[in-house]
Structure 1
Amino acid sequence: MSKSLDAATGTIHLQSVGRVPAVAAYELKVGDQLMYNGGSVYQITKIEDVSPKFLRIFEVSAETGEEHNSRVKKDRLVARVPQENRRPLGHDAPATVYRAQVYAPQGGMWTTVSHGATAEVAADGRTRRNQFSYFATVLLDRHGLGGTYEVRAANTEAMTDGKTLTAEDGHRFRILPPEQPQADQVDLWSIQDREGSEIAEVKATDYNHAVQVADQDPKARAAEPGAGGLVYMRRGAVQKSAPATVPDHSASLTYGALAATLEVLQVDAAIHVLVAGRQTLAAFTDTGHCVSAGASLDPRWNTGEVVLSHEPTHVRPAGRVLRELLDERERSVIEYADLFGTAGWYVEEYRERGQDGRERLARLILKPPVILP
């Protein structure tokens, strides 16, 4: 970083950038991004307190995924990127092209360095700051997987064939092929009351489609008023080769919370609100294993509060990256907040920073509008 510091105004001058806001290094936290001369941006992955006056800061490049660490005085001014100007990690590459990626051990995430219509174009891709083949030359060479044209070519071909290469220092490299678009999958959905008794079974592509189909089902329409709302439980994909035979697990599953907490007053009240708002409830086995994603409630016994989150299944859906799943979880929690706020509940939001460095709404702490007996 430039030494053109101005402690009085809390700014720092960066070459080719100009004067930008700055903070003392001791104010930094994991997930912050720092800008350097020329405009390069790194994201902090780890901070170590190495002495009374110095920190060691570990960073990963927002553009190339390369790791870097430096020893910095705690009172030194550094250019922290404002939240609204943060850089996404790696190139924003669509899943329909080849993507050359690096995984830095300290960074803990795959970063797309370059991409293209073919694996060769992706490997030879030029970054914004490096107008030459960065991935297939600099990165592979720097981590012992290049050195000569023949070695680089052989390793690029291996990655094109689906192999992930691991360097001695722990960095990993791969080239992802384009994802093929898939037709909407038709699933079996069980329509149940809140006690888990099945009312009807429908075929639908997703939750909203299942609701639409159930609205036309005579049994579901007749049962809904007395059921206090219906629960929609995805059971599995419809088998095309033979009629689907789906075992009935309803007797061993609980919805919205673990079996031991279902009768807690604030949990029961919250489930009423979720069901009335047609929100999908997470399904749990008697061992606490989540088999269907949805709203999950965990009571705070001493305060009368309940923590509400969106529980995913243990298996990440094919083709879905972590960032998409975190965004989807946040959208669900935002819907929950609106629903309970409208119902008069006290709603406290809890946010957390994901591996991609972005802070998102993760869960809610809820309290009923009246004191339950």
Structure 2
Amino acid sequence: MSIAASVPIRDAHDLSLAYTPGVARVCEAIATDPEVAHDYTWVSNTVAVVTDGTAVLGLGDIGPAASMPVMEGKAILFKQFGGVDAIPIALDTTDVDEIVETVVRLAPSFGGINLEDISSPRCFEIERRLVERLDIPVFHDDQHGTAVVTLAALINSARLTDRDLQDLKVVISGAGAAGVAIMKILQSAGVRKIAVVDRAGVIHPGRDDLNDVKRWLADQTAGWARPGSIADALDEADVFIGVSGGTVPEEAVARMAPEAIVFAMANPHPEVHPDVAHQYARVVATGRSDFPNQINNVLVFPGIFRGALDVRATRISEDMKIAAATAIADLVGDDLSETYVIPSPFDSRVATAVSRAVTDSARREGLARRPY
């Protein structure tokens, strides 16, 4: 990574514009109207990638210093795929109050905040409080990026298997950040029959070992979820979505409905190995690049922030996320097949399509400060 000037400084005249006395005029303009900071500073195109290093990739709680390479990698992807400048910020605290206060104080330097690799359930409260206090987009990619790309793949998988979203019987393995966000976006998209499973089995209102987040999940899925193991939940289920890192027995997958859909997204070891899943499922996707149908967040976050920044959105709404998922799904078009339900991360159309969908949605919802 590097930071480079967007204009040359070749002589004393250039220096007088780039620094004193020229910058004083810009400072005065911003002091008079803070909104022009988006026109005359890097704010309009710069995102903070913020972590505390407590839930890094598949590495877990490795601390802020060790998390920095991942944050730098994220910043590179922002630039490569969305043209968005991103600055990695690793915070040496795991205290929710301290993280929120620190980000709020840093926020004037950025056009958006991408939260990354913060452990559950703290990540939910941190995001919620930042959304409440800031008037710029705040996006926890481990939650919402995963949820958006999962919905995109599911839209096309349902189309391929001639199913309606509202009729799907879905089992989500994992009740962390990704699992909760996937459940939310699937409900918003019309899926009604969802069961969420953790290490103790199906999450339901009768359990007495649930934290606040899992109690909320239990209430939201009470109309369909029934007590039991993951094998019980998968009996005649249409869809398995794995974001847990656990292992699902082959005999449980065998109990799924004909032409099942299996998204085993744990890395590096999917909950169900694709060779096993293919014996029982028509569509199989993973989080890995060495199998077809890679469900990868890079399809989402560059375009979402590109669109949000372009219209100076005040936040990223559920409708904007669904619009992004639909745009990604639509790119597959008539090429839809069992091995192609989601575009490649290197499909150059993705970020543009997502960005346009997000800007259109933001304008419809009145969340765009730049309405044109």
The TM tier, using the shorter chain, reads under 0.3
Could you state the TM-score of these two structures normalised by the residue count of structure 1? 0.23
Larger strand share, 1 or 2: 1
Tell which has more relative contact order, 1 or 2 (C-alpha 8 A, sep 6+): 2
Q: TM-score, normalised by structure 2?
A: 0.23
